Amino acid sequence: MADASAITAVLGPTNTGKTHRAIERMLSHDSGMIGLPLRLLAREVYDRVTTRVGEARVALVTGEEKRVPRRPDYWVCTVEAMPIDLEVDFLAIDEIQLAGHDQRGHVFTERLLLSRGRRETWFLGADTMRPLMSELVPTAKLVQHPRLSRLASAGTGKLSRLPPRSAVVAFSTPQVYEIAERLRAQRGGAAVVLGALSPRTRNAQVAMFQSGEVDYLVATDAIGMGLNLDVRHVAFAALRKFDGRDVRDLDPAELAQIAGRAGRHLTDGTFGTVAPLALPDGVAAAIEAHRFPPLRRLLWRSSELDRSSIDALLASLREPPRVRSLKLVRDAEDTAALARLAEDPEIRARARGEAAVGLLWEVCRIPDFRKLLFESHVALLAEIYGQLSGPKAALDTDWMAARVAEIDDVGGDIDTLITRIASIRTWTYISNHARWVRDAAAWQDRTRAIEDRLSDALHERLVQRFVERGGGAARGARSSGSSRARPAPRRAEVEEPVSVPEGHPFARIAALRALLAPGPAAPAPEDDRARWVESIVGAPHERFSVDAAGRLHDGDHLLGQLARGPALLLPDVRLAALEDVGPGARSRVLRRLVAFARDLVEELLGPLRSPEVRALPGAARGIVYQLEQGLGTAAAREAWEQVAELAPEDRALLKAHGIEVGERVIYVQQLLRRGALERRLALCAAWFDRGRVPACPAPGAVSVPVARGVDPRAYAAIGYPVFGTRAIRADVAERVHRALVSGEPAARLSSWMGCPAREAPQVAASLLG
């Protein structure tokens, strides 16, 4: 990365808009990358960015998931998975204070010291980083913003008297389960968020909380890293956690990071403890004032690794830092795995030479998602390296299929499903290394599908165990005196109800519910609807379609309608027939469809947004800009300044990219085809007022009569600019204009114009005007 980048450190408490500001800044550049601390947060930011610019321009890269379109402009990544050799204009690292984390800190420190955007770099995090930021990155401009809402201590309270919209935080899975079961008995139920949940399960659980189906959330500190939830109060049920090596007290800054989830944007929040627990003296005041001791040292590991031999690699990994404020990371999982494998004579015999040692190091960096026995993890790594370093240089397909098949089982309890999800994450990570497996894309699809099935089953078990259906939440609220008690939600009438057909992945769940139901009605049909929503949210782009009227479909099912957004190129979406799902689920479907709508624009204007076209000189770029704003058509007279400045070679370059600069019309030939015409019409239907959009021209029509009340700009935006009484296809208008200039009588050109002979003179006069 370039060193000339302008560096900004945005440091301060939670809810100051740091991540939001970074996203906005990134999108103001032509290209950018943001590194985030959690897979769940990376997915949340990816969703936000794709809603703005579409999925065709955004890559998502985590250890287990890679969604990389053909030409992404923006990269949303976990910090460990960032493609650091890729140059982008803007680069940001979120939660940079994790550079002090015992296990992961060295990665954040490496990004802090070495990663830069070409033009601009931002580091976001807690104010505890300020002294070390000034020391290690002295050129950084330090910026701080005030918290948008007030965070106040509410002291200690009983679990049975927690206010609605509370998150209860514990630091062990058994305690999370115990609290969630108590909330089910006392208040009707709770959503559960654990770090081990997949994004799909976590989103389904959070959707229940966000939509108000349950008023309580029980979580680990997984909610502490920027996940945006409608939490008004955070209650700590524990103040100690196991950090991978020891059980220790959380320091005040860590507690503040979690407590800061209460109150989002301008809504004030509170924090406290669950009786009989109490915060130590002074901690509540420190959290309210956002004042904590600064970090003294950051974790570090050399980035200049010697792969000439195993011993040389281990030595370079153990090289001490030369700066006192940096501390060598100890007991890193990948280094420990390498040291253990180095004791195996067979592996030592295979790992000779830089390439073989480099491969071994790649294998050692496979995360231990299962967190069971370290010896078991090392044994798996040894098997993988043995196959990759063998004559086939790839994993045995049958062996991998057998290991994956063992995991593909949706039976069992919550802990069993969580373990299987952790296991399948390992194979998803492996399948994302295309050189390691044959037909990597197919393996990625397979492991992702298994994770989805396990995630849906896990969500089902969590709901069964921790949420009382059939009005339980309302009963619990009434028994505790809550003012938010409410009846069970009314079933809305839906224009196109969604059934669960035979063979659908959730049909078995629906059948089981019907079998176990105490009465004739299924106890929770909304769960099947929620699963259908999940399938929509995770669907590939190709699943959806849009017609010329701007209606969005999933097969035959109407999902929504393109609607007027902030600009013609930024359409919004209005949902249809989804009244029977909660607000949380609706917002996620809306996000997916808005991203699809942005992709429609990106695909339509693809001929104008290739790297070659973007590299055109100034006057040509000005013409391209006008073409974008007109969906592929521009009036030559409105671009006369840019046209006058075009050099002959610029005209040749534009023509080589399918852009025709005519005397009357500038247009993109590719965007006059039928498919492009229908998409242009769909965007016009969203932008222009109803009744001011033209009807779709018949296939092959070279012109159409101008309809009363239709906006002439809408005709131009579909590639049929208005001349006199006719809207003429852009390429035909130019052809007719050239003939008229050469002296051809208008009457002879009526067939070219596609109009009656009596209209030809008026149309010709307009073309020559």
Interval 302-339: pLDDT, tens: 999 999 999 999 999 999 999 999 999 988 999 999 99
Between CA 539 and CA 549 the distance in angstroms is 23
pLDDT for the residue 359: 97
pLDDT tens-digit readout, 676-724: 999 999 999 999 987 789 999 999 899 999 999 999 999 999 999 999 9
662, exposed or middle or buried, with CB in 10 Å at 0-12, 13-18, 19+? Answer: middle
Mean pLDDT score, 729-751:
90
pLDDT tens-digit readout, 11-64: 998 888 899 999 999 999 999 999 999 888 898 899 899 988 888 899 999 988
Residues sharing a CB contact under 8 Å with residue 246, sequence separation 6 or more, in sequence order: none
pLDDT tens-digit readout, 197-234: 888 888 888 888 887 889 999 998 877 775 678 899 99
Cα dihedral 375/408/223/371 (nearest 10): -10
Nearest to 569 by CA among 612, 540, 609: 609
Query: Is 80 exceeded by the pLDDT of residue 97?
Result: yes
Question: 161: which 2 tokens?
Answer: 């008297």
Residue 610: pLDDT band with limits 50, 70, 90:
confident
Place of tokens 């795995």: 337
Query: Is 50 exceeded by the pLDDT of residue 476?
Result: no
Between CA 226 and CA 386 the distance in angstroms is 40
Residues sharing a CB contact under 8 Å with residue 509, sequence separation 6 or more, in sequence order: 456, 460, 527, 528, 531
Distance of CA 598 to the CA centre of its chain: 14
pLDDT for the residue 439: 92
Query: Is 80 exceeded by the pLDDT of residue 474?
Result: no
Question: 633: which 2 tokens?
Answer: 């058509």
pLDDT for the residue 490: 32
142 neighbors 250 (Cβ within 8 angstroms): no
Q: What percentage of the chain carries pLDDT values higher than 90?
A: 62
pLDDT for the residue 508: 39
> Higher-confidence residue: 487 or 676?
676
Between CA 236 and CA 223 the distance in angstroms is 12
Mean pLDDT score, 256-274:
88
Query: Is 70 exceeded by the pLDDT of residue 460?
Result: yes
Question: 284: which 2 tokens?
Answer: 């509540």
Query: Is 50 exceeded by the pLDDT of residue 516?
Result: no
Query: Is 90 exceeded by the pLDDT of residue 384?
Result: yes
763 neighbors 747 (Cβ within 8 angstroms): no
Mean pLDDT score, 461-474:
71
Mean pLDDT score of the chain: 87
Query: Is 80 exceeded by the pLDDT of residue 1?
Result: no
Strand order in the sheet with 269-274: 151-157, 269-274, 233-236, 166-169, 216-219, 191-193
Query: Is 70 exceeded by the pLDDT of residue 491?
Result: no
223 neighbors 258 (Cβ within 8 angstroms): yes
pLDDT for the residue 470: 53
Segments of 275-404 assigned E as strands:
298-300, 326-328
pLDDT tens-digit readout, 556-605: 889 999 999 888 998 999 988 666 666 667 777 888 899 899 889 989 99
pLDDT tens-digit readout, 159-183: 999 999 999 999 999 999 999 999 9
